[in-house]
A and B are shown apart, each in its own frame.
Chain A
Amino acid sequence: MNNESISLQIRGGATCYSVPIGPVHPALKEPIRFEFNLDGERIVGVDIKPGFAHRGIEYMGMRRNLIKVLYLAERICGICSISHPLALTQAVENAAGIEVPPRAQYIRAIIGELERIHSHLLWAGVGAHELGFDTLLHLTWKVREKSMDLLEQLTGNRVDYAIPIFSGVRRDIPDEKAHLAYEALDYYRGLLDKMIDAYLHDKSVEMRTRNVGVLSYDDAIALCAVGPTARASGVKKDVRQDMPYLAYADMEIKAITPEDFGTEPIGDVYDNIIVRLLEVAQSIEIIEYCLENMPKGELMSIPKIPALLAALKKAEGEGIGRHEAPRGEVFHYVRLEEGIEEPVVWKVKAPTYNNLMAWIPKFMGEEIADIPIIAASIDPCVCCMDRVHLVDRGGEPSVKVKDELVRLSREKTRRICG
């Protein structure tokens, strides 16, 4: 794939229609604008405009002390509300050389995996809804409640769990609560086969998702795609496997691709469903391992908050924190200077930021009716990616010509149509 073919600026030929979708549209769950160029029913070009939920979070974060930044990071996204704190705490701990006690590492991983279960089930429900299969949506979201309830029982909150803090975790998972977790795991284990049957062995789901919204292996790598979006294309990339951290370093974790389901990776929407459902099973195993092998000990290596703040203020250096969120790699970079409470630099990278470009080859050559399910297939988390509030002043966006892309996209259309 060359550079010309994936510019975000595209326009079709003279017979093309331009159809804007978003920033507010029933097919989208979050504000983002697509401008599609259509040749009949076929998509021949797409211009993507994110930023409608830009809130200036990094700008704000660089103006307050690190503990406050942690609260802010937790509120970047309501679904990944532990992914950002996990990446931020690791970045700061790496920069400041702070150790995390083993028990805290296990608790962080348990909450992280519970979040993956509820996020993937949320996505599966949205996917079913986009296909017009609302019975399945209701079933999926009903079973998702179990993980939300468990999160509430373990942390006190359904979202924004406030578990990680620099140097450890804020709350223990006591042994007397472990049975709640085991109960939820058994519940999901019993359901998983039914879910796989309902999604992957259903003729209409298969017809609507097989070979729709394809992201090839090479495109996934060239466009730096992450998470289930990349893994559905057969890219065996998962931070938990590639560069283990926290309790994940004690486990044999393997990136899940459609091969684990016994099919060749195509990178279409169907493969996205396979990967996410199998990852729910993987998360169940991880949580079980963590519960069984959780070491005893302290929760924070610097338990007193004033001492922690003082240690952070003294710290000098830079650090990278990465976490495999439900949607892919979350990346935080911080640079700390001695004597300054605020992070001098804080850069947040959410998974949808990387997967944004992956939308373009996925949309090309597909039909208008497939737009909602393809848009949903990368499990976009727009508020994560935008991070700042943005005002549209009603200016007409200019759409520029990229004949090369049109040519390539038409070639692809012909290829698909045979």
Chain B
Amino acid sequence: MIPEEILASFRDAFGERIVNERTIERKVGTVEPRSVYDVWIEVDRETLHDAVEHLCRHFNPHLSVISGDDLGEKVAFNYHFATGWGERYGEATFTIRTFVPKDDFRVPTITDLLPGAQTSEREKIEFFGLTVDGIPDDRNLFLPEDMTIHPWRKDLEEETSKEVRRTVKWEGRDE
């Protein structure tokens, strides 16, 4: 799929609410190089759900994963989608980034649009301490159920190292 097509559709639907759009073109193949594309856009948190809905309605996306990037005052969450699968060279990655301030640390769930997002959203809840509004299940997935530390938050580093040291000692691996 030509990324321009997706971007045009998003511009029509959201106009000014889409910022910092970037298309990275890469050449692949050693005999006859062809282009593949990574597309990145940024939306604010209020537009996130609508943007994913637009993507789901028109572009049949696959969600690879949601990654998080602690920037200090806020955390950037990257929703890594890929769209256009099913034919050779048909796919482009499409990442929707949204910034979430730590003093109001919540995002709307996208599991109502793409149920498969639940694993990734639950991981963000436990590893970042994020609140995901509307998620049907917010228990810890990979961490123990009573663990309250958030290992990928850089401002909570001290508590994480304390917990890691405690766990290592508890397992008898500290010698």
Chains A and B come from one and the same complex: yes
Residues of B123-175 at the interface with A, using a CB-CB cut-off of 8 Å, are 136-137, 139-146, 151-152, 160, 164, 167, 170-171
Contact with A along B100-131 (1 / 0, CB 8 A): 00000000000110111111100000000000
Q: When A and B form their complex, which 6 residue pairs have the shortest distance between CB atoms, in order from nearest?
A: A224-B116, A249-B29, A242-B91, A347-B67, A102-B30, A349-B65
Partner of A51, one of B95, B137, B142: B142
The answer to whether A6 and B115 touch across the interface, beta carbons within 8 angstroms, is yes
| Nearest CB in chain B: distance from A243 CB, A | 4
B115 touches A51 (CB 8 A): no
**Chain B positions 79 through 109: 1 when the CB is less than 8 Å from some CB of chain A, otherwise 0:** 0101011111111110100000000000000
Are A357 and B118 touching (Cβ within 8 A)? Answer: yes
Closest to B69 in A: A345
Q: Is the CB of B65 within 8 A of A331?
A: yes
The CA-CA distance from A84 to B136 in the complex, in Å, is 31
Across-interface contacts of B140 in A (CB, < 8 A): 51
Comparing A133-141, A185-193, A265-273, A391-399, the segment that makes contact with chain B is A391-399
- Contacts A54-B142, A320-B95, A353-B119; is A237 near B114 (CB within 8 Å)? no
Partner-A contacts on B (CB < 8 A): 24, 26, 28-34, 36, 38, 60, 62-65, 67-69, 78, 80, 82, 84-93, 95, 111-112, 114-120, 136-137, 139-146, 151-152, 160, 164, 167, 170-171
User: Any chain B CB within 8 A of the CB of A56?
Assistant: yes
Give chain A residues whose Cβ lies under 8 Å from the Cβ of B89.
242-244
Asked whether, in the complex, the Cβ of B91 is within 8 Å of the Cβ of A243, the reply is yes
Say whether A89 faces chain B, with CB atoms less than 8 Å apart: no
Cβ–Cβ contact B82 & A3, under 8 A: no
A-chain residues with CB within 8 Å of residue B93 when the two chains form the complex: 243, 320, 322
Given A3-B136, A242-B87, residue A320 in contact with residue B119 (CB < 8 A): no
How many residues belonging to A are interface residues under a CB distance threshold of 8 Å? Answer: 68
> Which residue of chain B lies nearest to A244 when distances are taken between CB atoms in the complex?
B28
Instruction: Identify the closest chain B residue to A356 (Cβ).
Output: B119
Taken together as a complex, chains A and B put the C-alpha atoms of A87 and B140 apart, in Å, by 27
Asked whether A354 and B136 contact (CB < 8 A) given A237-B85, A395-B146, the answer is no
Which of A105, A224, A347, A393 is close to B117, meaning CB atoms less than 8 Å apart?
A224
Picked from B62, B92, B146, the residue with its CB within 8 Å of the CB of A393 is B146
In the complex, A242 Cα to B160 Cα: how many Å? Answer: 40
Chain A positions within 8 Å of B164 at CB level:
56
16 further interface pairs, Cβ-Cβ under 8 Å (given A333-B67, A393-B146):
A1-B115, A5-B115, A221-B62, A224-B114, A237-B86, A242-B89, A243-B93, A244-B89, A249-B34, A250-B31, A320-B95, A322-B82, A335-B69, A345-B67, A357-B119, A391-B171
- With both beta carbons as reference points, the residue of chain A lying nearest to B81 in the complex is identified as A224
Is residue A253 within 8 Å, beta carbon to beta carbon, of the partner chain?
A: yes
Closest residue of A by beta carbon distance from B37: A243
Whether B86 and A3, one on each chain, are in contact in the complex, defined by CB atoms closer than 8 angstroms, is no
| A9 at the binding interface (Cβ < 8 Å) | yes
> How many Å lie between the Cα of A344 and that of B32 in the bound state?
35
Q: Which A residue's beta carbon lies closest to that of B171? A: A391
Q: Which residue of A has the minimal Cβ distance to B134?
A: A3
Distance between Cα atoms of A223 and B115 in the complex (Å): 6
Taking CB atoms, residues of chain A closer than 8 Å to B152 are 58-59
> Across the interface, which residues of A come within 8 angstroms of B29, CB to CB?
244, 249-250
Chain A residues numbered 5-50 whose CB sits less than 8 Å from any CB in chain B: 5-9, 49-50
Query: CB-CB < 8 A to A295: which residues of B?
Result: 30
Contact B141 A51, beta carbon cutoff 8 Å: yes
Given A242-B84, A331-B80, A333-B78; A3-B111 close (CB under 8 Å): yes
Tell whether A70 is near chain B: CB-to-CB under 8 Å: no
| C-alpha gap A331/B91 in the complex (Å) | 15
B116 touches A7 (CB 8 A): no
Are A244 and B88 closer than 8 Å at their CB atoms? yes
- Residue A144 at the chain B interface, CB threshold 8 Å: no
Across the interface, which residues of A come within 8 angstroms of B160, CB to CB?
A: 59
